[in-house]
Amino acid sequence: MGDKMRAGIGYDAHPLVGGRKLILGGVEIPFARGLSGWSDGDVLTHAIIDALLGAAALGDIGTHFPSGDPKYKDISSLVLLGEVKKKLQKTGWRVGNIDATVVAESPKLRDFIEPMRQKLSKVLGVAASQISIKASTGNGLGFAGRGEGITAYAIVLIESQ
């Protein structure tokens, strides 16, 4: 392989809708609306998945887990993340670290950051100290800033095993 480390960037965005649970980083967050999506709509986990797949040059989330496929309808994104971990292992990679940002005007996410880190670290088999999650607002700008949806960005470093 020759590569010792690679970096990847991920992004995801979903609109907020009624009648759905709000799930971020695998954690259910009390809120009147949830994220629309074929799976659970977890934009944070989706951004991390895309970053990991990109770093390993394995395509993107839609390639591996296509919308419209009945086996992924309402599936927990943590299950998908576990599958991505296996794909990384099979190709000789492991997670070095993750840095992610969730952009949401509301709800406030401060109290949910640590539980998100714990859930993600458990699925990936890494220490929570290898995962950074930050929350920001859109300051009234864009669809996230207007409270119409939530976006997430992630950068990852993967290392050869």
The whole domain housing 13 covers 5-160
The first and second tokens of residue 115, run together, are 């539980």
Summarised one tens digit per residue, pLDDT across range 69-89 is: 999 998 999 999 999 999 999
Q: Is residue 110 predicted with pLDDT exceeding 90?
A: yes
How large is the average pLDDT for residues 35-60?
A: 97
- State the CATH number of the domain containing residue 57: 3.30.1330.50
Please write the tens of the pLDDT for every residue from 127-146. 999 999 999 999 888 989 89
When divided into structural domains, the chain yields a total of 1
Give whole-number Cα distances, 140 to 20, 29, 147, in Å.
23, 21, 8
Q: What percent of the chain has pLDDT over 70?
A: 99
What is the rounded CA–CA span in Å between residue 112 and residue 28? 9
Distance of alpha carbon 86 from alpha carbon 73, whole angstroms: 21
| Tokens coding 44 | 């944070």
